[in-house]
Chains A and B, each alone.
Chain A
Amino acid sequence: MTMTVSANSASGGNLQDFLRRNRSIVIGTALLVLLLIVGGLAVTGFLSVRNLRSILLLAAFLGLASIGQTLVSLLGGLDLSIPFLIGGANILLPKLLNLGLPPAVAMLIILVLGFLVGCINGWLSFRLQGQALIVSLGVGFAAVGAAEIFTSIGSSFGGTSFAPVPKWLTNIAAFNGKTFGIPIPPVVVIWAAITVFIVWAMRSTWFGRGIYALGGSRTAASRLGISEFRTWVLVHGMSGAMSALTGILLLGFSGGGFVGVGDPYLFSTVAAVVIGGTSLLGGSGGYGSTVLGALVLTVLTSLLVGLGLGFAGQQAVIGFLIVPMVAVYARMPHIRNQI
């Protein structure tokens, strides 16, 4: 593995070679720029600071929720528990605050719980290879059901919960949030920092390279001494923790706990991964691509809103555009060329 990396970087000066290796990044960036230009021409105020800020904020939530989906996809799986864990975290936090826990402790508990549920999901789906999709769905249902039952102890509603949200959490995730006085919501900065860390870790750590190796060929990776089981469980655990984090931040955004807040993320995280250019079969792509995918998806949605389309229209247009967008760089070879 070290050999291929050094061989690649040796020939990296060649522009053509760079374009070939980073095709999805180049095309994703071009698509993003194109959408921004079209938006700027077609919708007044599209490129205003206000609109760009709201795009970044919404993209940050989608991007954070998509971290787990990207890593799981790189291993060749899909995690359908993400929306349920987001919803669960979103109602669990106000409940814990109401119980008198300090906000920081409550959030830590939820992050750890998210990580543990993710690990259980990973452990079960590792044993049930091939049915991982449905296992993650089942684990998600069980987790959100448990969270609802816990939050409804002492209140009459299971799906919603309210508590005074700490001011600083609201500041982190609200439209008018400020980072050290600069008018950018801190969640965007947090997202950027996590992105830099993940892109670095995927490229330069044993763990990150191991994920690619496993996605490429499990047999080869296990010959290299990479534990398939450990990587699979840890990646699912990280996916759970990131879903919990998204749920916590969404509470700061909305102000009240609602279990259905995660529902849109079931398919939009998959869409962000796919539009970015990460293969759902594993082994190729990366979080950098997904960041572009999340931005493209959010800018496209904002453009459609600006053009006056309602929720239904947006969904129809985005659904219609996914195949051509993916077809630009992720076509499979014909069966006769796969023999």
Chain B
Amino acid sequence: MFERLLRQRRTLGYLTVPAALFVVLVVLAMIRSPNLFTSEGLGGAIVVAAPLVLCTLALTPIVMSGRGSVDLSVGPLMGFINVTIVAWLTAGGFTHPLVIFAWAMGMGALYQLCQALVILYVRVAPIIVSLSGFLFLSGLNLLIMPRAGGLAPDWMMSWGAGRTIFAPVTFIVLAALALWFVFWRSALHTNLRLTGADERMAYTAGVPTAAVRIAAHMLGGVFVGLAAVCYTALVASGDPTQGGTFTLQAVTALVLGGASLAGGRGGAIGSVLGALNMFLIANLLATFNFGTLSGSATKLAFGLILVFSLLVNVLAARRAAN
């Protein structure tokens, strides 16, 4: 155990920059919007940030599996589960929480299983498979629900208000992190890192790379399902149009969290930090009054922060290597 922790410590170097950025952003947020740090403010923040945090967490095992397999379809997949919960399950009267959770996690895992099988056996590059899935699901979501609307299940309605930290959404996020911890302690995690770092070597060394890839995708799918439940609670309805935005935000958060899109490197702490940094940046920019320019100024600042923090990230990594 102790040895393992020591070994992990050395690999945690990539967390330095996201953690430092997080501290800076928290200090700035304390100055600019102090009411974020009341129980009510934090509760609201968790509800707003949860879908992105979970989407980023979903991308993490998939990206770690290598072959440049950043999954572009996570956003639309979350949207698909969201609109089907609203348009099929709730409208059809299946509103028991167990049914909703089983459907969300089951559909997420099933879709990712299909995607992993296509990657493994049709042997088309993962990014092409996920691009294909992105377009397919974006179209399908609009066919199921042409515009945002509908109602979430009754018991979920109060979740979106987020008046306290001890809210259901908080527990979902904690459960997801607990699931990640179990995965992190398992042999699967080691095998996944081996596969992602050098698939050929892992295969020659007897790692069941195909099974590892399938497991990584399905784990990601379960996280997408949880993200969809949190998103449904947040908007209290169905929205088929936000898939593309979520994909771009989640991939950005992933990279801000220090994961490598080339595979082999990444982890839950980095991804959560990355997603929280994204949330804090948006929150911070919203406290400045740019008037009619707010959208444009946010884009400009967001782009610059993104490039800058990546630059610092790489320079820090280079110094560590020397």
Contacts of A333 in B (CB 8 A): 123
Contact between chains at B122 and A316 (CB < 8 Å): no
Q: How large is the interface on A (under 10, 10 to 19, 20 to 34, 35 or more residues)?
A: 35 or more
Cα separation A144 to B296 with both chains bound (whole Å): 8
Q: What separation, in Å, do the CA atoms of A331 and B124 have in the docked complex?
A: 5
A267 at the interface (CB under 8 A from B): yes
**Residues in B neighbouring A141, C-beta threshold 8 A:** 299-300, 302-303, 306
> Which residues from 8 to 28 on chain B have a C-beta closer than 8 Å to any C-beta of chain A?
none
Cross-interface CB contact of A319 among B137, B146, B260, B295, cutoff 8 Å: B137
A128 CB–B CB distance under 8 Å: yes
**B91: interface (CB < 8 Å):** no
> Can you report 9 A-B residue pairs in the complex whose CB atoms are below 8 A from each other?
A124-B311, A131-B255, A131-B313, A139-B303, A280-B127, A281-B125, A313-B143, A317-B139, A335-B209
Q: Does B286 contact A (CB under 8 A)?
A: no
Known: A135-B307, A312-B146, A313-B139. A130 touches B260 (CB 8 A): yes
- Cβ-based interface call for A199 (8 A): no
Query: A127 near B314 (CB under 8 angstroms)?
Result: yes
Query: Which of B29-37, B159-167, B196-204 lies on the face that meets chain A?
Result: B196-204
Given contacts A133-B251, A157-B292, whether A332 and B125 have CB atoms under 8 Å apart is yes
Digitize A267-289: 1 where CB-to-B-CB distance is under 8 Å, 0 elsewhere: 10011001000011100000000
Which residues of B have CB within 8 Å of A140?
A: 303
Contact (Cβ within 8 A) B300 A142 = yes
A243 CB to nearest chain B CB (Å): 15
**How far is B200's CA from A147's CA once the two chains are assembled, in angstroms?**
46
Q: A142-B302, A156-B292 are in contact. List 12 more A-B contacts (CB 8 A).
A: A131-B255, A131-B313, A138-B303, A138-B306, A145-B296, A148-B296, A280-B127, A315-B138, A318-B139, A319-B133, A319-B135, A327-B122
CA distance A33 to B141 in the complex (A): 31
Selected contact of A149 from candidates B68, B204, B300, CB within 8 Å: B300
Q: What's the Cα separation between A280 and B261 when bound, in Å?
A: 14
Contact A319-B132, Cβ < 8 Å, known A124-B311, A152-B292, A339-B200: yes
A146 at the interface (CB under 8 A from B): yes
A322 to B132, CA, bound (A): 6
- A20 is an interface residue with CB less than 8 A from chain B: no
Cβ–Cβ < 8 Å partners of A142 in chain B: 299-300, 302-304, 307
Residue of chain A at shortest CB distance from B255: A134
B314: which A residues are within 8 A, CB to CB?
Answer: 127-128, 131
Write out, one digit per residue, whether chain B residues 160-179 have a CB within 8 A of any chain A CB (1) or not (0).
00000000000000000000
Does B252 contact A134, Cβ atoms closer than 8 Å?
Answer: yes
Contact A137 B295 (CB under 8 A): no
**Which of B124, B298, B301, B310 contacts A131, CB < 8 Å?**
B310
Q: B131 near A267 (CB under 8 angstroms)?
A: yes
Work out how many contacts link A and B, with CB atoms closer than 8 A: 172
Given A130-B261, A331-B123: A146 and B138 interface contact (C-beta under 8 Å)? no
A204 to B314, CA, bound (A): 37
A336 within 8 A of B: yes
- Residues of A22-49 contacting chain B, CB below 8 A: none
The answer to whether B200 touches A145 (Cβ under 8 A) is: no
Which one of B131, B143, B300, B313 lies within 8 Å of A145 (CB-CB)? Answer: B300
Q: Which residues of B contact A156 (CB under 8 A)?
A: 292
Q: Are B128 and A138 in contact (CB under 8 A)?
A: no
Given contacts A148-B295, A271-B135, A315-B135, contact A330 B124 (CB under 8 A): yes
**Chain A residues positioned under 8 Å from B248 (CB to CB):** 137
In this assembly, does B88 line the interface, its C-beta being within 8 Å of a C-beta of chain A?
Answer: no
Which residue from B135, B138, B255, B302 sits with its C-beta under 8 Å from A322? B135
CB of A202 within 8 Å of the partner chain: no
Known contacts A159-B295, A318-B135, A319-B137; is-contact A335 B203 (Cβ 8 Å): yes
Q: Which residues in B have their C-beta under 8 angstroms from that of A281?
A: 68, 125
- What chain A residues lie within 8 Å of B298 (beta carbons)? 145
Pairwise interchain contact A134-B251, C-beta atoms closer than 8 A: yes
Question: Cβ of B310: which chain A residues have Cβ within 8 Å of it?
Answer: 128, 131, 134-135, 138
Smallest Cβ-Cβ distance to B118: which chain A residue: A323
Binary flags per residue of A295-339, CB closer than 8 Å to B gives 1, else 0: 000000000000000011111111110110011001111111011
Contact A338 B307 (CB under 8 A): no
Measured between beta carbons, the chain A residues less than 8 angstroms from B70 are: 133
Which residues of B have CB within 8 Å of A135? 306-307, 310
Whether A291 sits at the interface, judged by CB under 8 Å, is: no
Contact digits for A192-216, partner B, Cβ 8 Å, 1 yes 0 no: 0000000000000000000000000
B284 beta carbon closer than 8 Å to chain A: no
Contact A131 B261 (CB under 8 A): yes
B142 interface residue per 8 A CB criterion: yes
Chain A residues 63-90 with CB under 8 Å of chain B are: none
CA distance A20 to B134 in the complex (A): 32
Q: A131-B255, A336-B203 are in contact. Are A280 and B125 (CB under 8 A)?
A: yes
A143 close to chain B: CB less than 8 A: yes
Partner of A130, one of B125, B209, B262, B292: B262
Is B129 engaged at the interface, CB distance under 8 Å to the other chain? Answer: yes
